[in-house]
Structure 1
Amino acid sequence: MSAFRATALRSLSGRSIATPRLARAHSSRSEYFLRPLTETAAKPTYEYKFLAQPATVSVLSYPFSGGQPRAGVDKGPDHLVQAGLLNQLQSLGWHVEHNEGAVDTLLSTVKSDADIGKMKQPRAVSTVTKQLASDVADVAEGGKLPLTLGGDHSLAVGTVAGTKRKFPNAALVWVDAHADINTPLTTDSGNLHGCPVSFLLGLEGTDVAPFNEWLKPVLKPEDLVYIGLRDIDNGEKKILKEHGIKVFTMHDVDKHGIGKVMDLALDHIGRDRPIHLSYDVDALDPTITPSTGTPVRGGLTFREGHYIAEAIAETGNLVALDVVEVNPSLGDDAASVAQTVAIGCSLSRAALGETLL
């Protein structure tokens, strides 16, 4: 049985729900309460062609921080849900389910987690992402769209692997300030949130325990396109060039504009393929999303960041979405946290069909 099914919080198929656990725990903060959900005849703006009907999004909260050293990113999913994300998605016409990954239970099975080579917390990352891959695959096999709330970006090892079980030809659009394509051989920090793409591609150095006990390469260089990069390690630059991976850096966004970049990106991956969108909120400029672990100035504007999600929604090809690296413990004040959480919610809505008119 999948971990999230074993610990399901609730199913939101258009009916009233009880106030979730964390909303009750913060009952003095009324803005975090979920309103009761009611039946709606609305439908999503776009026809999501690879999903069953009625269109259903399964929100998977995965409070995991083991891919990097900063505390607090595991609280991101709770804050996004408390901010009303589930109601917001239903208001767009989606049937909404919500389940929480049993991350604490999974981690309790990891008795020790010494470094393996340069890799930090490899057993924790492998254990959690293996289960997440199963959870995402289960959702996709049911004709639903998995929306994974992180947590750090190492979770994409599991989300993309799960998507590929259902949609072997799926393309991956990776929106991020960072390439996250270091390998266990090239990483300086050893933090695995900087390595998920290399594991998915099966690059040199990734055929290592414990990952090789369950993970096989699922991604080809031509399946992948990056948008928003601006902080790329030297080892990553070499990998990107050697494998001919399509990258649109912030220089390209400045030069061409985000509309042209998205046209080029979609032309590259093909306009009739399923799309997995993996969105790190640090792709946006730190003035927009300050509460994240590795902010880099010179990022996407609010509208550029949302246009990416909107353009993918317009294709009707979206089959999976990750929203990661919201860290409510970071930021100068409560307003910074609230702003970053609100952006995480609005990016999710944009990918799921919210329009300006």
Structure 2
Amino acid sequence: MALLCHTRSDSPGSGLSEWPIVAVQRQGQAEERTGAALALGDYEEEAMKGCDPPARGAAAALTVNGSCFARLLRKQADAGLQLPKPAHSVALVGAPFSRGQKRRGVDHGPAALRAAGLVERLAGLGCQVYDFGDLNFTQVPNDELYNNLVLYPRSVGLASQVVADAVSRAVAAGHSCVTIGGDHSLALGSVSGHAQQCPHLGVIWVDAHADINTPLTTQSGNLHGQPVSFLLRELQDKVPQLPGFSWLKPCLSATDIVYIGLRDVDPAEYYILKNYDIQYFSMREIDRLGIQKVMERTFEQLMGRRQRPIHLSFDIDAFDPSLAPATGTPVLGGLTYREGMYITEEIHNTGMLSAVDMVEVNPLLGASQEEVNATASLAVDVIAACFGQTREGAHIAFDELPTPSSPDESDREEQVRI
């Protein structure tokens, strides 16, 4: 594996362009990259028209009815139709932010995932990985409560703006963007930044919690439980203007998001899900339908009428705590390992995945180093499955089987005996 390191500082204050860039490529597959080619601002605007990076040059959008969308994608690929191919250029963005909630340690999540081998795993799948390091977040002094309840609004708002800029620039440059947190409030920025380049994106939100409280319905005051309410257009008359949030504009409609794995939903959140007709699959639905049917219905909802980029926002607490103990708000009865891998494998198979969030890994909350390692390794498995890792092994390019260069010695001995 070759490590190509470049440092850029040509655009002060522009976010990603100031960070050290580590490009990781498989040995023997490295290609020449100039500094200009790595600049996240260097891309052709014409290529971005239509805001569908994974589908550039693809055939016209498919119209699919029924619940067999995922299988139909495979059949069309087998038939040789021109379908979007998964991007193999991955921008890794660390977001060590913790002020969307009260517990210390979640800001160490990016370091834990890197230590668990995330970069090397993606490179081993044939991805070209550009690790842009961790974002820097400005500390806001005297960040007073909003409405005597909501915590750190200015800190969350400003940090989310930094994340939005980073993700927008990464997607604009043609990368699939992987944002590693950090708490789930960072999705305010990652989804917003993604939508700046791809306004018609669809979001798959895998989580034990709906994260759709408003600042006026929250019981905890934690903004990591509220990001979706700020992102939905239908809720804007219910969401007050928080200090630090003036930059944020709603970018999703209720039909643009599907939840998977819910099992701890507040009363106001349940009201929103039902009255705004938001598609969700609780663990009860997963038990009743099975994960295959859940994914078929998810793709039917988001991509049944047209193909579009997918944003996967994955909270590690979607898994059962027996698998992911090092997290801040564990809830019993979560996803199994097989269900979690199936979700991400199927998303990868669409060829439309454009951005991923992996959040809420908290190394300080594991009862032992083994629990921390297990949680971080699970998060790495999820991300790897998004980029082609399968449970029967990594399916990288393999052209042909080798043939012997000379007759086998045993054959020669047999001929002598005869």
1:9 is the counterpart of 2:20:
yes
2:260 match: 227
Q: How far did 1:356 drift?
A: 2.5
Q: CA deviation at 1:207?
A: 3.8
Q: Letter of the aligned partner of 2:363 in structure 1?
A: P
- For 1:209 and 1:227, locate their aligned partners in 2 and report how far apart those are by CA, in whole Å: 28
Q: Tell me if the contact between 1:48 and 1:55 (Cα under 8 Å) persists in the aligned partners.
A: no
Listed one character per residue, the Cα deviations across residues 309-355 of structure 1 (whole Å, up to 9, x for unaligned) are 11100000100000000000012211110000000100000011112
State how 1:1-357 maps to structure 2 within 5 Å.
1-6=13-18, 8-14=19-25, 38-40=27-29, 49=55, 55-103=88-136, 106-108=137-139, 110-117=140-147, 118-202=149-233, 203=235, 204-271=237-304, 272-357=307-392
Instruction: Indicate conservation of the 8 Å contact 2:89/2:129, yes or no.
Output: yes
SS at match of 2:358: strand
1:169 is paired with a residue whose SS is: coil
TM-superposed deviation, 1:52: 9.3
- Structure 1 residue 82: deviation in Å? 1.5
Listed as ranges, the gaps of 5+ residues in structure 2 are 1-12, 32-52, 57-83, 393-418
**How far does residue 41 in structure 1 lie from its aligned partner after superposition?**
7.2
* CA RMSD, Structure 1 to Structure 2 (Å): 1.9
- 1:98 Cα offset (Å): 0.7
Distance in 2 of aligned mates of 1:324 and 1:39? 33
Alpha-carbon distance between aligned partners in 2 of 1:111 and 1:52, rounded to the nearest angstrom = 46
Tell me the distance in 1 between the aligned counterparts of 2:85 and 2:247.
Answer: 28
Local SS of the residue matching 1:107: coil
Distance change >3 Å, CA 48–CA 4, structure 1 → 2: closer
Letter in 2 for 1:12: A
Sequence identity percentage: 43
Query: Is 2:172–2:197's contact at 8 Å kept on the other side of the alignment?
Result: yes
Matched length:
327
- Tell me the alpha carbon deviations over residues 242-283 of structure 1, each in whole angstroms, 9 at most, x when there is no partner: 110001000110001101100011101115111000000000
Contact 2:205–2:314, Cα closer than 8 Å, also in 1:
yes
Contact 2:87-2:176 at 8 Å conserved across structures? no
The aligned residue for residue 5 of structure 2 is none
Rg bigger for which structure? 2
In 1, Cα distance between the equivalents of 2:210 and 2:257? 11
- 5+ unaligned residues in a row in structure 1: which ranges? 15-36
Distance in structure 2 (CA, Å) of the matches to 1:67 and 1:246: 25
Distance 1:231 1:100 in 2: 33
SS at match of 2:177: strand
Alpha-carbon separation, structure 2, partners of 1:153 and 1:247: 18
Report the TM-score, using the length of structure 2 for normalisation.
0.75
Distance 1:342 1:257 in 2: 25
Q: How far is the alpha carbon of 1:214 from its aligned partner?
A: 0.2
Q: TM-score, normalised by structure 1?
A: 0.88
* Range that drifts further, 52-61 or 253-262: 52-61
The one-letter amino acid paired with 1:195 is: Q
Partner of 1:25: none
Q: CA deviation at 1:212?
A: 4.1
